[in-house]
Amino acid sequence: MTTDDRPRYRAVLPLYVPALLGAVVFLVLFVTAQREQQALLSERLEQIVQRHEQTAQRVAASMAHDLGDTRGSIERFARELERQLDRTDPQAAGAFDTLFEKRPDGTYRSRLASMDPQRDAAAVLPKYLQPDAASREFFVRSVHFTSLFGQATVGKAFVNTWILPKHGGEVIFWPSEPGWVEQPAADFDYRATEWFLPTEPAQNPQRKSYWTALAFDPVPRIWMTSVVAPLYWRGAWYGSVGHDMPLANLLLQTQQLRQQEGSRFVLLSGQDSIVASDQYGEEILRAKGQLRLGQLGDPAWAAAIQQARQQGLARQGFVRVTQADRVWFVARIEGADWVLVNSLPLGPIVRQIEASFTTLRNIAITTLLIELVIATVILALAHRRGRRHFNDILKLHDDLAERESRYRTLVSNLPGIVYRCANDTDWTMHYISDAVEGLTGYPASAFIGTGAISFNAVVHVDDRDLLWRQIQNALEDRLPYRVEYRLQHKDGQIMWVMEQGQGCYDAKDQLVWLDGVILNINALHYAQEQLGRLNVELEQKVELRTRALREALGELESFGHAIAHDLRAPLRQASSYLEMVGEAMPDGDPSRQWLERSQRALERMNDMIQGLWSVARLGSAALNVSRFALNVLVDEIRAELNVDAAAKISWQVGTLPELEADRILLREVLQNLLDNAMKYSARQTDPVVGIRDHSEASSQEWVIEVYDNGAGFDPSHADKLFVLFQRLHKSSEFPGTGIGLALCARIIALHGGRIWASSSPGQGASFFFALPKRSMD
């Protein structure tokens, strides 16, 4: 075969045919993709809007649930308090003086020193209310019950539980305001307010609870509302009870509304005032709660509300309103005349979706240019698979969100074992947390329903009757329960636990299950046992040391008495001999001055021995405390002072308090301080001696100052003033033994007080002493 006979390659189609065919295919695919994109855009947009709509419904339902839970709580409180008060308790009135103290302003207030604001309720009785036996009983019993009820409601949307009796006063459990007892004025009166008047039988014969109007507090910048119910005692109306709820607590769930870009909300009151918004917060504050929809810069809000009402908001409770560029979700909050409005702009959502599709289209175009057919198939498969995967993820997200909302209130971040069980002898578990395995050795699944083991089986056999009895007693009284008992671990170890919970009731007030928490207190229990043993040993040691100290003090007192007696006898003899020598000595004898100096030295020694004996006796003296007026005691001391010396003094005696102390010993203190003030100011041209009260009403001690304008002293030596025989001036300048101030310090210390001084040389001196305020009840 020659060269011309060889077969030649001939193209079946011209080269431009595949290119043209590719362009046609690309154009067809592009048009198809555009249509599919529009369909998917509408579908995806609707999915996002529906998901946000479900979120808005959940937020509104959560707010309605908090309102309903708060109303139900105060109605239960009113019923249970009435049931508790109807029971006779003759001991309650007698406990009034233990729980309350009468203040100088005429009010009775709870004793803060004997209460824990995180666990105990408090009460204040205004000065116009003089409690009789009945009201004393009421306040004692209501404080006790409110403490128990309030502890069980910690963590709720409302912040406190209070009672307003019809005769005045208030009982309240308010952990976030521990100093509340000190805040009310002496004549406070809530009886003319909306927290009280609507509960009177004439205005509320059906004994219904109600919500007060929203009120704005400008200091914390929050809105507050209260649910109030009437209180009856022994068949007669006795006042009102209530919970206060900050609006901010209701708005916690609104954070979910901000997950979508551009989403905004407002909350309207019954008078269409905007009380909360994530966009118009500053405008609300400037308008002091009177901001209206018409005052907003965006009129679309008012238009959306009007359209929602026209579509039946009052009947349906939730309406979706669609505008050209926005969707509005309008919800009526059950339990209060409020409306929650959520605005969702469609522009950001559309742009986000279009951006996703644009990126996808660019990838598809590039891929088609490289390998048209293969890329089209892969893109179609990837698109369908991606959409199916997205729908699966979206469904899973919604399921998880629903479960999270369902179980949030069940666990509520409590430590230990969280459970929900039936009220039967096996404590059949509906739910129990995984922490149970650490205390029992069995997994949580073993206890659920009629599982492998009942919870009662791991309770120590000796504690089962106790656990059943205490829980049933609490359920009969509709009270929370708290029980300490033992669990037996799978390996035989005994674990001490504390269980706290309460019964849950349905709409027909029937018990359906028990909710609670179980805490491991094993270490605490054994620590308490060890502490008890140590306390017994400590008390025995203290008793032995006290007995030895008493014996030593007795010996010291006997020794001091002997010294004082034996030393003073020869001093008296020496003084008599010197006096006899002086009488026999002729006048003008130069030795007489030495004789006089010796007599003065003997007198000083006698004074020092007497002072030492006074100080020694204080070690064993028992205080004879009584109440007396300090002004009267000062007047008595002034009447006994040296008349000539006292007459030269300019006395400045202020209004002094009545206090509780040993009158005889305190007289000794004032006698020494006033004598010193007169002595050190006597050389001044115009001597001044004064005494005044420096006490503060809120302080727990009386503070009294004795001052003068005399010689004063160097303040760097002030610590030596109250030490025996320590003097800052020579005897030749100012006579004295150096015992008086030491005696004052011992007397003040016996009273549990303190004494100090301040001065500057030549500027006078001030001596202060402080005594604790005692109760003579």
What pLDDT digit, counting tens, does each position of 263-282 carry? 888 888 777 788 788 888 78
Percent of the chain with pLDDT over 70: 75
| Residue 413 reports pLDDT greater than 60 | no
The per-residue pLDDT of the chain, averaged, comes to 80
Identify whether residues 100 and 201 lie together within a single domain.
yes
Q: Which of 289-298, 388-397, 461-470, 758-767 has the lowest mean pLDDT?
A: 388-397
Please give the average per-residue pLDDT across 594-612, as a whole number: 57
Identify the residue whose tokens are 């170890």: 493
Q: Which domain holds residue 635?
A: 622-772
The helix (run of H) or strand (run of E) holding residue 440 is helix 436-440
Identify whether residues 574 and 654 lie together within a single domain.
no
Task: Tell me which of 262 and 29 has the higher pLDDT.
Answer: 262
Order of strands, sheet of 338-345, starting from the edge strand that comes earlier in the sequence: 274-277, 264-268, 338-345, 326-333, 318-322
Q: Within a domain: residue 7?
A: no
Identify whether residues 426 and 462 lie together within a single domain.
yes
Residue 650: its pLDDT value, please?
87
Residue 171: its pLDDT value, please?
96
Contact 410, 390 (CB under 8 A): no
Q: Which of 325-339, 353-367, 631-645, 749-763 has the lowest mean pLDDT?
A: 353-367
User: What is the spatial distance between Cα 218 and Cα 288, in angstroms, rounded to a whole number?
Assistant: 8
Task: Tell me which of 18 and 441 has the higher pLDDT.
Answer: 441
Residue 616: its pLDDT value, please?
53
Identify whether residues 720 and 586 lie together within a single domain.
no
716 confidence band (pLDDT: 50, 70, 90): confident
Q: Residue type at 583? A: E
| Residue 672 reports pLDDT greater than 60 | yes
180 confidence band (pLDDT: 50, 70, 90): confident
| CATH number (domain holding residue 425) | 3.30.450.20
Residue 443: its pLDDT value, please?
92
**DSSP per position, 125-149:** E-TT----HHHHHHHHHHHHHHHHH
Q: Within a domain: residue 537?
A: yes
Identify whether residues 675 and 764 lie together within a single domain.
yes
Q: Name the pTM for this structure.
A: 0.43
Identify whether residues 421 and 406 lie together within a single domain.
no
Residue 368: its pLDDT value, please?
63
Please give the average per-residue pLDDT across 663-667, as a whole number: 87
Residue 629: its pLDDT value, please?
92
Q: Which of 330-334, 435-439, 613-617 has the lowest mean pLDDT?
A: 613-617
Residue 239: its pLDDT value, please?
96
Contact 751, 769 (CB under 8 A): no
| Residue 15 reports pLDDT greater than 70 | no
Identify whether residues 206 and 271 lie together within a single domain.
no
Please give the average per-residue pLDDT across 124-140, as a whole number: 92
| Residue 610 reports pLDDT greater than 60 | no
Where is the domain boundary, 593, 620, 647? 620
Identify whether residues 609 and 696 lie together within a single domain.
no
Neighbours of 605 (CB within 10 A): 16
| Residue 601 reports pLDDT greater than 60 | no
Identify whether residues 428 and 573 lie together within a single domain.
no
Percent of the chain with pLDDT over 90: 29
User: What is the spatial distance between Cα 100 and Cα 122, in angstroms, rounded to a whole number?
Assistant: 9
Residue 475: its pLDDT value, please?
92
Identify whether residues 607 and 626 lie together within a single domain.
no
Range with top average pLDDT, 50-64, 256-270, 587-601, 634-648? 50-64
Residue 388: its pLDDT value, please?
65
| Residue 727 reports pLDDT greater than 60 | no
Residue 707: its pLDDT value, please?
94
Residue 164: its pLDDT value, please?
96
pLDDT, one tens digit per residue, over 60-95 is 888 888 888 999 999 999 999 999 888 887 787 788
Q: Are strands 222-233 and 215-217 parallel, antiparallel or unpaired?
A: antiparallel
pLDDT, one tens digit per residue, over 22-63 is 667 667 666 666 676 677 777 888 888 888 888 888 888 888
Q: Within a domain: residue 78?
A: no
| Residue 106 reports pLDDT greater than 90 | yes
583 confidence band (pLDDT: 50, 70, 90): low
| Residue 387 reports pLDDT greater than 80 | no
| Residue 2 reports pLDDT greater than 70 | no
| Residue 509 reports pLDDT greater than 80 | yes
Identify whether residues 615 and 650 lie together within a single domain.
no
Residue 22: its pLDDT value, please?
66
Task: Tell me which of 691 and 722 has the higher pLDDT.
Answer: 691
Q: Within a domain: residue 510?
A: yes
246 phi and psi angles, rounded to 5 deg: -65, 140
Longest dimension (CA), the chain: 185
User: What is the spatial distance between Cα 728 and Cα 733, in angstroms, rounded to a whole number?
Assistant: 10
Residue 176: its pLDDT value, please?
86
Residue 205: its pLDDT value, please?
94
Residue 4: its pLDDT value, please?
53
Residue 774: its pLDDT value, please?
74
Please give the average per-residue pLDDT across 713-719, as a whole number: 74
| CATH number (domain holding residue 581) | 1.10.287
Where is the domain boundary, 485, 519, 553? 519
| CATH number (domain holding residue 734) | 3.30.565.10
| Residue 678 reports pLDDT greater than 80 | yes
Structure tokens at 194: 């909306």
> CA 627, 632, 636 angle in degrees (round to 5)?
120
| Residue 191 reports pLDDT greater than 70 | yes
| CATH number (domain holding residue 283) | 3.40.1840.10
Domains held by the chain: number: 6
Q: Which of 160-174, 292-306, 641-655 has the lowest mean pLDDT?
A: 641-655
Q: Within a domain: residue 222?
A: no
Q: Within a domain: residue 82?
A: no
Q: Within a domain: residue 562?
A: yes
684 confidence band (pLDDT: 50, 70, 90): confident
Count Cα neighbours of 772 within 13 Å in the Cβ-side half-sphere: 9
Q: Within a domain: residue 80?
A: no
Where is the domain boundary, 206, 240, 274? 240
Task: Tell me which of 663 and 552 has the higher pLDDT.
Answer: 663
Look at the alpha carbons of 408, 411, 412, 415 in this order and tell me if their dihedral is positive or negative. negative
Identify whether residues 614 and 698 lie together within a single domain.
no
User: What is the spatial distance between Cα 108 and Cα 777, in angstroms, rounded to a whole number?
Assistant: 14
